[in-house]
Structure 1
Amino acid sequence: MNNELDIIESLEELEQFLISVEAGGLGLEGVEGVGMATNNSDGRHFVAVFNSSHKVLLARWITKEVFDNGKDLVRNGPRRTH
């Protein structure tokens, strides 16, 4: 992951992360999607930003609570605007 200490711990933090991605505030180019997944080696959950080739542009660790409750937020996008 990009920063082992930078963990998204709440749905509000996840929403802010998604808003930043949509607004281009993270300096990422070619963003095509966002998804949540589980690391096969240690079982930790993360949210990742992908390009059109499904290459990970940025990933952040998330807590189990955020993984369990943030799926609709990732699927449907943030409620707030940039």
Structure 2
Amino acid sequence: MINDNDVIDTLDELEAFLFLIDNGGLGLKNVTGVALATNNTNGRPFVAVLDDQHKLLLGRWVTQDVFENGKDLVRRGPKKSH
């Protein structure tokens, strides 16, 4: 479930998205992980919100820059409060 018009193009936007996930702001149930990944069909990078069985609950496209530079942010989680 990825919206083609919803692209995260800065690290600040990625951090805000991670806070939203952490705080339950999107109403998703059973969230156990977040990862940066690439689409198998076209190689386009996205951030994936996963459940406990590693199934995709929600995805948002990211730019190549965010994909390359946001790995530590996704791995360690957001730091500042919004």
- TM-score w.r.t. the length of structure 2 is 0.95
Percent identical pairs in the alignment equals 57
- Give me the whole-angstrom Cα distance separating, in 2, the residues matched to 1:64 and 1:3: 17
How many matched pairs?
A: 82
Structure 2 residues without counterparts, runs of 5 or longer: none
- Give me the whole-angstrom Cα distance separating, in 1, the residues matched to 2:9 and 2:70: 11
- Give me the whole-angstrom Cα distance separating, in 1, the residues matched to 2:34 and 2:81: 17
- Give me the whole-angstrom Cα distance separating, in 1, the residues matched to 2:24 and 2:80: 15
Residue aligning to 1:10: 10
- TM-score w.r.t. the length of structure 1 is 0.95
What is the identity, as a one-letter code, of the residue corresponding to 2:17?
A: F
Structure 1 residues without counterparts, runs of 5 or longer: none
What is the identity, as a one-letter code, of the residue corresponding to 1:25?
A: G
Shift, 1:69, TM fit: 0.2
Shift, 1:80, TM fit: 1.4
Which runs of 4 or more aligned residues in structure 1 lie more than 6 Å from their structure 2 counterparts after TM superposition? Answer: none
Shift, 1:81, TM fit: 2.9
